[in-house]
Amino acid sequence: MEKHKKGHITKDINNKGIDSKDSANREEAEVFKLYMVIVHHGLGSKVIQIAKESGIPGGTVILGKGTAQNPILKFLALADYRKEIVMVLGKVDHGKVFLQNVSEKLKFHKPNSGIAFSVPVSNIIGSKYCAGAKPPENTNGGERMEMYQSIFVIVDRGSAKEVVDAANESGAKGATVINARGSGIHETSKLFAFEIEPEKEIVMILVKREISEKVTRAIKEKSSIDEAGKGIMFVQPVDEVYGIQD
């Protein structure tokens, strides 16, 4: 029953994105991107809300710090301010709407109000919404082959250990864990006016392209990412890598 309902939602979203086109078009590769939005502290949840309104099921927020370019403030050690970094995985057509809405609603045309950008993603595992994900044309079609890939795994807080262990056992040289919060399609409860965004951990692993498959498979098996609600994993191409010793 529940499963059925979920499938329905996914279909809805698919339809909304490309409602004017026929079903044959849907078979085509759907290009996904990772959207990064950096805003002032406290606006992260709002960005996720906008993402949800734009058809993207969820996002993840990381706390960060920024520094103002003001010498007087720097001297007084008052130049730091708090930031939130929002990571959102979305289809390109949803993403366009999302970026437009974000920059409109959060007034990105004014200086110092925020930054948004997108980066290519080559593989996504663990999300129904992203089930049709295929590598974007421009990085895949070209002859250029990157040496390394970075694997991002977003799981519930406390589960990062398993992911790190799985990665290390399957040949990765190490992993970095970032604390975050976020909500996906399974987590949409509210407490008064607040959306509850449960705590997450983001595991970042840089691996050689050859073993990338092996590592993602190991993680998938160990933390059962492809089950609903267990987390999400995506792979990104990486150009230049320093500091990894073979």
Partner 1 sequence: MNIFNEKLKEVFFAILPITLIVMILRLSIIPIDNHLMGMFLLGAVFVLFGLTFFLIGVDLGIAPLGSLLSSVITKKNKLWLVVVAAFTLGFIISIAEPGLLILGNQIDVLTSGVISSFTILAVVSLGIGIFMILGFLRMIYNIPLHIILLGSYGVIFVLGIFTSPEFLAIAFDSSGSTTGVLAVPFILSLSLGITAMKKDSKASEKDSFGLVAIVSVGAVISVMILSLFTEVQEFAEVEMAEAHIGGSIFGSFINAIPGAFLESIIVFIPLVAIFLLVRFTWPIKKEVLRKMTLGFIYSLMGLSLFLVGVNTGFMAVGSEIGAYLVGLDTYFYLILIGFILGVATILAEPAVYVLTHQIEDVTSGYVKKNIVLGALALGVGMAISLSLLRVVVEEIQLWHYLLAGYGIAMGLTFITPKLFVGIAFDAGGVATGPMTATFILAFINGAAYNHPTADVLVDGFGMIAMVALMPIITLQILGTIFKLKTVKKGVEGNGKT
Asked if residues 166 and 207 have their Cβ atoms less than 8 Å apart, the reply is no
Q: Give per-residue burial for 95-134: e unless 16+ CB within 10 Å, then b.
A: bebbbebbbeebebeeeeebebebebbbbbbbbbbbebbe
Distances (CA, A) of 238 to 95, 120, 146, 220, 241: 21, 10, 6, 21, 7
Residues 26, 144, 161, 217: which binds partner 1 (CB under 8 A)? 161
Structure tokens at 53: 């309104």
- Give the shortest CB-144-to-partner 1 separation in angstroms: 36
Site string for partner 1, 2-41 (x = CB under 8 A): xx-xx---------------------------------xx
Structure tokens at 105: 């609603």
- Give the shortest CB-10-to-partner 1 separation in angstroms: 11
Residues 17, 33, 39, 44: which binds partner 1 (CB under 8 A)? 44
Nearest residue (CB) to partner 1, 30 versus 197: 197
- Give the shortest CB-4-to-partner 1 separation in angstroms: 10
Asked if residues 54 and 101 have their Cβ atoms less than 8 Å apart, the reply is yes
Q: List residues near partner 1 by CB under 8 A.
A: 2-3, 5-6, 40-41, 44-45, 61-63, 68, 70, 73, 76-82, 84, 156-158, 160-161, 177, 179-181, 185-192, 194, 196-201, 227-229
